[in-house]
Amino acid sequence: MSPELGEIDEAALEEALRGDSAKALHMLADLTTATDESLREQARKLAGRIMLDLARTGVAPRSGSVRLQPVPADRGGDLDVDLSMDAIASARAGGRVPHLDELFSRDWRRPDVALCLLVDASGSMSGDRLAAAALTAAACAWRAPGEFAVLSFDRRVRVHRAITATSAPVETVTGLLELRGHGVTAVAAALRAAAEQLASARAARRITILLSDCRATDEEDPVPAARAQQELIVLAPAEDCEEATALAAAVDAKIGRLRSAADAPAALAAALDR
């Protein structure tokens, strides 16, 4: 996939994704942490677009009254020049045409669901964990383009995209690939932060997605904060899901078990549509 210093063979990557998407995603995520700066940046930009493309799994549910909403420009509608101005200016400064996934349009949509993704960044963030985080964020962008937030957490909670943000989804996805792991896992604090984000959402259905093994290490019981969510979906690694399964059972949450990062979009779609 990287035949020369600082280069990625995109044709080889596409072939690898068709053959073994889980392994290819793992390798691509690892390349985003490469020591070579040129290779690292190329991998991040390429990964962001690939994750968004792979995340188009399932059909978003439709309910509620129709409203004119900002959506990614590649989903249709009329170009919103005001929301797209930063991307247009940045592309012009670089002497290129802006990509559709950098622009916004306005279209008549139903604000039926708002999503807040919580990414557990308390352990080593590389390979499959990085890919799972980025791919799940991309899936959230497709399922709730008008209202989705992305937070990561260890001891502290970090906001990568607020529920009210209008930044291009690719920026959020690419940003997650810069995550590095830390020690303590504050699950309860993360759940409270998600509730705060979703409190300002317009959608009637507000869902927290917890991407974690749910092994809280800060000695605070996450069950009360989990019960306070309007709706909770837990996505956990299939090989380490005991605590996640127990938490989901305790609060009647839905759970998806991921064998690899490639499972994330389908697992999220299945949980949302159940």
pLDDT, residue 2, reads: 57
Architecture of domain 113-273: 3-Layer(aba) Sandwich (3.40)
Distance between CA atoms of residues 237 and 234, nearest Å: 10
CA separation for the pair 192, 229 (Å, rounded) = 8
**For residues 142 and 223, which has the higher predicted lDDT (pLDDT)?**
223
Q: How confident is the model at residue 60 (pLDDT cuts 50, 70, 90)?
A: very low
pLDDT tens per residue, range 13-34: 777 777 777 777 777 777 776 6
Distance of CA 93 to the CA centre of its chain: 28
Mean residue pLDDT across the chain: 84
Sequence ranges of the domains in the chain: 67-109, 113-273
Collapse the DSSP code of 195 into the 3-class scheme (helix H, G, I; strand E, B; otherwise coil) and give the result: helix
* CA 258 – CA 237 distance, rounded (Å): 5
Q: In what helix (H) or strand (E) does residue 38 lie, and over which residues does it extend?
A: helix 37-54
Enter the pTM of the model. Answer: 0.72
* Alpha helices (H) along 163-215: 169-176, 187-198
Tell me the three state secondary structure of residue 211.
Answer: strand
84/91 Cα distance (integer angstroms): 11
Q: Map tokens 């001891």 to a residue.
A: 155
230 half-sphere exposure, CB direction, 13 A CA radius:
17
Residues 100-141: tens digit of each pLDDT: 878 888 876 555 799 999 999 987 666 788 888 888 998 998
CB crowding 232-255: b at 16 or more within 10 Å, else e: bbbbbbeeebebbeebbeebebbb
Give me the pLDDT at residue 58, please. Answer: 47
Query: Which span out of 1-5, 136-140, 215-219, 255-259 was modeled with the highest average pLDDT?
Result: 255-259
